[in-house]
Structure 1
Amino acid sequence: MPNEFLWFVLMIVNFIGILVFYRYMGKTGLYIWTAIAAIIANIQVVKTVELFGFVATLGNIVYGTTFLVTDILSENYGKKDARKAVVVGFMSLITMTIMMQIAIVFKPDVSDFSQEALTTIFSFMPRIVIASLTAYWFSQLHDIWAYHLWKNRFPQKKFLWMRNNFSTMVSQFIDSVVFCFIAFWGVFELSVFWSILWTTYIFKWIVAAADTPFLYLAKNMHDKGKINELVSTDK
């Protein structure tokens, strides 16, 4: 199958996954998704692929969904709960990095077949994680701030698309620039580096635009009381 088709399939699977997690686990489900997405994105990002004639890294979709999660939390619960998701993602990355760095130091048995592959992926991980943590922290906090800025100015539901896209598109530009310079500067040739940076942003921008209907669905589920919260929100 062509990469472009798989890319769109992966995007829809991610969006549906978020709605399922949210529908049956509420805010807890969104926090769980954030942890999963943060870890998967930083594994997938070490793989480069060709999409629409450009060199790009995987991980753009699943990482981009973390912005949808914080927008859902901002819209339905407020700034405080959205910031909790940022902390969850941040701590998940740190924990995964520490555990995998210890894991690859273990001397493998003669029967082992995975050490070389794990080393290839996770020996590069510290630089990826430093880049991701830095970009993630600044871009997500900006996204939450910008979302509420637009929400305060245009609180009506019909402007949901505006606060979703206007906040996320700027935040993802910040994320792409910070991440690529820390993670890939000096790793790839300049032509490949700039291709990765701009395609990373463009593909995240597409994800941000495509997730808008799913934000409306999450909003409607919440307003109609269809969210099953694992932890009661009653005082």
Structure 2
Amino acid sequence: MTEPAGQHAARVGSRYAIVAAAFVGLLLISNIVAVKLIAFGPFIVDGGVFLFPLVYIVGDVLAEVYGLKAARRTIFTAFALSLLTSLTIWVTQLSPAADGWENQEAFETILGFVPRIVAASLCGFLVGQLINAWVLDRMRRWTSGRFLRTRLIGSTLAGQLADTVVFCTIAFFGVLEGWDFIGYTALGYAIKCLAEVVLLPITTRVIAAVRRAETRQTEVRPAASAASRANSGP
């Protein structure tokens, strides 16, 4: 089988590092601001609503343009740094406050380490992103790279389902019971999938832009190398 151009670009292009850094940064920022609850009319969401959908967009870019292996590497890196962030906040919270610093209670209220929620968030992210990348990669192979929008929606439905079920089960099973738990989980899943569908035009444009940039760089490098060899002749 001929290697897809996107995977070749992952080895020779420089944009992968930028996309991966954006993925990790968006995840860390969205996790920090998620501690604030925001009211939009009758709906209550957390601060992560502004950036977390972008995490899935960049995740789609990684899997579609650079391939499953590169996407997994970035996902595991983001997971490790998220875990390190949570542990650092926890250690800082437990450390004795300096004399004259009177914000310990405020620090614990805003950034306080809640093991169950942290575990739910990390596990949901890891499982959801890995499934999203795997499904997108499989569908790309099955369709020979066609039907991008269909593949993006399909991978989103699978990845967000896993993310939502894992997060809600770890965080709220036993706290919410019966239909309350089912309703909360279903509503969260529906909102996440709707956000992904609404942002689909942006996702496809970003994928196309990154792919063009990597293709141009792939074409320029052999030409530059040939010119360099010609100029260094006898």
Q: TM-score, normalised by structure 2?
A: 0.75
Flag the 1:144–1:226 CA change in 2: closer, same or farther, 3 A: closer
Matched, 1:82 2:50: no
Determine the structure 1 residue equivalent to 2:172.
184
The answer to whether the 8 A contact 1:221-1:227 is kept is no
Q: Please show how residues 67-106 of structure 1 align to structure 2 within 5 Å.
A: 67-106=56-95
SS across alignment from 1:55: strand
Q: Alpha-carbon deviations, 1:193-218, whole Å to 9, x = none?
A: 55543332222112211232222222
Could you tell me how far 1:78 is from its partner in structure 2? 0.8
Could you tell me how far 1:222 is from its partner in structure 2? 2.8
CA distance in 1, matches of 2:81, 2:17: 15
Determine the structure 2 residue equivalent to 1:134.
123
Of residues 30, 37, 40, the one that matches 2:19 is 30
Structure 2: tracts of 5 or more residues without a match: 1-13, 223-234
Of residues 172, 181, 202, the one that matches 1:214 is 202
Q: Alpha-carbon deviations, 1:58-104, whole Å to 9, x = none?
A: 32442232221221011111111111121121111111011111111
Q: Which moved more, 1:141-150 or 1:212-221?
A: 212-221
Could you tell me how far 1:219 is from its partner in structure 2? 2.6
CA distance in 1, matches of 2:36, 2:183: 14
The root-mean-square deviation of aligned C-alpha atoms, in Å, is 2.9
Q: What percentage of residue pairs aligned between the two structures are identical?
A: 26
Relative CO higher for 1 or 2, CA cutoff 8 Å, sep ≥ 6?
A: 1
Of residues 177, 183, 187, the one that matches 1:199 is 187
CA distance in 2, matches of 1:190, 1:42: 28
CA distance in 2, matches of 1:200, 1:33: 24
CA distance in 2, matches of 1:84, 1:228: 24
Of residues 167, 177, 193, the one that matches 2:155 is 167
Structure 1: tracts of 5 or more residues without a match: 1-24
SS across alignment from 1:182: helix
Aligned length: 206
CA distance in 1, matches of 2:216, 2:93: 39
Q: Which moved more, 1:202-211 or 1:182-191?
A: 182-191
SS across alignment from 2:135: helix
Which residue identity is paired with 2:65?
N
CA distance in 2, matches of 1:197, 1:118: 29
Q: TM-score, normalised by structure 1?
A: 0.74
